[in-house]
Structure 1
Amino acid sequence: MAVLAVIVPVAIATLLAMALMWPDKPRSAASERLTEVTGTILAIELKPCPKAAPGIPGQEAPPADPARCGDARVELTSGGEKGRGVTAPLPSGPGTQTFKAGDDVILIEVTDAPDGIPYQLSDHQRSNALWIIGAAFALAVVAFGRWRGVTALVGLAITFVLLLQFLIPAILAGSPPLLAAIVCAAAIMLVVLYLTHGFSMTTSIAVVGTIASLALTGLLATAALDLAHLSGLTDESALNLDLSSGINGQGLLLAAIIIGALGVLDDVTVTQAYTVNELAQANPSYRFRQLYKAAARVGRAHIASVINTIILAYAGASLPLLLLLSVSQQPLGDVLTAPAIATEIVRSVAGTLGLIAAVPITTALASLALTRADDEPAETPHEHVDVDAFA
């Protein structure tokens, strides 16, 4: 009953908040949408590359890639001129892709082009490849997880719907990013955890543990950002959103921390809740203290590996920035205190502290609930949820 006393008000508050915050039409900056069409490259005609522009003072500009200089003959496969063959110059700027005959591509239709070239090569058309990759992922999940794998895929779809149809439009419509993220995270947690793991006391304990840990993560992240005087405007995307749509950068960063932490928190809380349940079934004589100590040992091992996972994930996402700072040969102290790196440090620390707190919170809740359930005279002794009932 104590668990339901927490979950029911949270669920009602989440539904009310989503109903009030659901945007009718997101606010967006006025911009002219480019017309895109698809096509297939028939042939590539390479040409001599123009002389490279001067690079960084004191450094010689890298030579242009000969495979990126020339024109592509493309047959359009969509748009008003479908079936027509057109010529488009190969993009030759830094970081552009290399194209070859037979590639499916995306072109931008340029109206009133000053150079008289109506189409520009933009990108590879990779929808078919992504469908194949997605199908392979879904088959692997279902083959291994069976019915639980199916529910996990449905939960993943619901997560994407809530992120794309509620969180992002709500932020663009002017809702506070942190509040929108909290509401979205609560909705994802309630729907996905119960859908994936079933309605049981063990899942409910995991939900309560996630709520408490997520709230602590948000408080720690807010305090850390204020203490470090970080605005959240560390990249071009956040700056553009602040200038064009007036979206608070710090609030957006807090929202990102909340959503990112949820993805790992539910893993930790579910694992701990089910670990306590399994220990209680395997050792019916265990009381609260014994259950807590045994499950906490599992939790410590889990957290040790998850912490390394989080740090490596953030380091991988920031690798280009780390390389750029390394090339600039700045002192280590200046690198660590730069806004971009300091933001990632705060993001990692806040998320990690939330994860660490999730283990004792969820373990204590599960141990207390299971030992109290065993003490109820009206119930069959050691009657627990079968964790494989939904497999």
Structure 2
Amino acid sequence: MAARRKANRILAAVLVPLTLLTLAGMAMLWPSGSKDGISLANPYSAAPGVTFDTGKIQSVVEESCMQGSTAPGQSPDTGGQPAPAGSDCMFAFTEPDQGGSPVKVVVNPEVAQSHGVKPGDQIRYLNLSNAPGAAASQGSPAYIFVDFVRTLPIVILALLYALVVIAVARWRGLRALLGLVGAYFVLAGFMLPGLVEGKPPLLLALVGSTVIMIGVLYFAHGFSARTSTALLGTMFGLAITALLAAWATDAANLAGVGSHDATTLINTSANISISGVILCGLIISGLGVLNDVTITQSSAVWELYELAPGTSARKLFTSAMRIGRDHIASTVYTIAFAYAGAALPILIIVMLYDRPLGDTLTSAELSEEVIRTLVGSIGLVLAIPVTTLIAVLVVKATGVRTAGQSAVGVPDEDRRPHGTSGAGAINADDVDDTGALAAAAFERRSRQSTEGSADPATTRRGRRADRG
């Protein structure tokens, strides 16, 4: 405990000024919350007499689109003319949640072809029956499908996720979930309004991401030298990611011109910079994986050191980096496949264009995803050796060596296997493999436990014989 308190004092001398600087930057960049000059129409706002209703589908039929305004059980008035070929539409007879007779909701062709609807689905639909002039618009549907109601399945998944996390990780898992809620408030209350008001995106992303990492790491993992070491490595990775993102956004001319959402934002406010939004997104997107690798490397160094306290700094760093290299390989795949999954519809569209691979990867549709993958991967890869080095330096600095003792107060001769000495002893400095380090430490602890349970008189006689 004394060694860990010493490590915390060393790390506090570095982290406290950085934290205070981050909080000062957050106070300077805090948005006012004003939305003056922003013009964005709400797609869910309705005209007078038009409402958004919800209901449960009872049955689904395919009929002529001319029957869109026909009530259930009635025949459409087609004037004796047959419906045009290929004009069938999907209709869902829906029971409104507010009560009343079932209504006939026309389903969008895109939804009908891609997913469809089925009895039992909860949907949200546009009710035009009470709109001015609705009675005169014969042949037009009075109820139009808008979206599915997904509240129940999302709530079930969220509760299941929380239950699994808490059951496996217990209090630490609960603290991690609460930290995630706090991170959401930083993102929604500080970073997003700051981007809308035109705050510097690079500083906004760095300050907001650092605040999130400070809160999440300490709240989930507690105040310890391990957590502080991981935080230092995370800050280094954030700085590298921010510098690369700033350069790549400008060098690759990421303007967001291939996105419909970016076009909407451009027309919303003159203060919003699409390049700044992309830059901020490049930094935020790698936070989760970066936090994962730094806390893992910090914990690995501490565990290896506790198994073999006499290990030299060089051997400890080498052993921990063996773990780090495996983590690098897996996390690189994680980032690449996560972005590929999110951009799968775009990938299919670009593939159907039948363009050369080089043109495809550098196109407006994919360049942002490619750069996000590369920038995030470089930042986390460089954070692993830096975090490992900081952890090794801290963990070795906490050990107080005296003559004939190791870093944790165990005599050096007691670190040798029972019955061996000199060149035949197992020394942690001579072990190159992490598993061998663990085996040596286990053998030492087993021998100490056996010796401690031996008869005291026999032990004293043995010691006198050894001295003789």
Normalised by the length of structure 1, the TM-score is 0.85
Q: Does structure 2 conserve the Cα–Cα contact (< 8 Å) formed by 1:185 and 1:259? A: yes
Q: What residue is the counterpart of 1:21 in the other structure? A: 29
Moved more, 364-373 or 181-190: 181-190
Q: CA deviation at 1:338?
A: 1.1
- Which residues of 2 match residues 328-343 of structure 1 at below 5 A? 328-343=353-368
Rounded to whole Å, the distance in 2 between the matches of 1:315 and 1:381 is 47
Per-residue CA distance 1:290-335 (angstroms, 9 max, x = gap): 2111111110111011111111112222222121122111122221
Which of 212, 222, 229 is the matching residue for 1:188?
212
- Which residues of 2 match residues 99-110 of structure 1 at below 5 A? 99-110=117-128
1:228 aligns with 2:252: yes
Q: CA RMSD in A?
A: 2.6
Q: CA deviation at 1:245?
A: 2.2
Q: Which amino acid aligns with 1:314?
A: Y
* Secondary structure in structure 2 of the residue aligned to 1:101: coil
Pair 1:178–1:107, CA change in 2 (3 A): farther
Q: What residue is the counterpart of 2:97 in the other structure? A: 77
Consecutive unaligned residues of structure 1, counting only runs of 5 or more, are: 51-62, 384-391
Rounded to whole Å, the distance in 2 between the matches of 1:18 and 1:39 is 45
Which of 92, 113, 119 is the matching residue for 2:109?
92
Rounded to whole Å, the distance in 2 between the matches of 1:177 and 1:308 is 28
Consecutive unaligned residues of structure 2, counting only runs of 5 or more, are: 1-8, 47-51, 67-84, 410-468
- Which residues of 2 match residues 319-330 of structure 1 at below 5 A? 319-330=344-355
Q: CA deviation at 1:84?
A: 5.6
* Secondary structure in structure 2 of the residue aligned to 1:170: helix
- Which residues of 2 match residues 123-138 of structure 1 at below 5 A? 123-138=147-162
Q: Which amino acid aligns with 2:62?
A: L
Q: Percent of pairs identical after alignment?
A: 36
Q: CA deviation at 1:129?
A: 1.1
Q: Figure out how many residues of one structure are paired with residues of the other and give that number.
A: 364
Q: Does structure 2 conserve the Cα–Cα contact (< 8 Å) formed by 1:203 and 1:273? A: yes
Moved more, 229-238 or 276-285: 229-238
Rounded to whole Å, the distance in 2 between the matches of 1:153 and 1:285 is 38
Moved more, 34-43 or 218-227: 34-43
Rounded to whole Å, the distance in 1 between the matches of 2:332 and 2:407 is 38
Pair 1:31–1:290, CA change in 2 (3 A): same
1:47 aligns with 2:73: no
Q: CA deviation at 1:76?
A: 2.3
Q: What residue is the counterpart of 1:388 in the other structure? A: none
Rounded to whole Å, the distance in 2 between the matches of 1:239 and 1:5 is 46
Q: Which amino acid aligns with 1:362?
A: T
Q: What residue is the counterpart of 1:372 in the other structure? A: 397
Pair 1:5–1:84, CA change in 2 (3 A): farther
Q: Does structure 2 conserve the Cα–Cα contact (< 8 Å) formed by 1:284 and 1:382? A: yes
Q: Does structure 1 conserve the Cα–Cα contact (< 8 Å) formed by 2:29 and 2:194? A: yes
* Secondary structure in structure 1 of the residue aligned to 2:366: helix
Which of 275, 278, 288 is the matching residue for 1:250?
275
Q: Which amino acid aligns with 2:369?
A: E
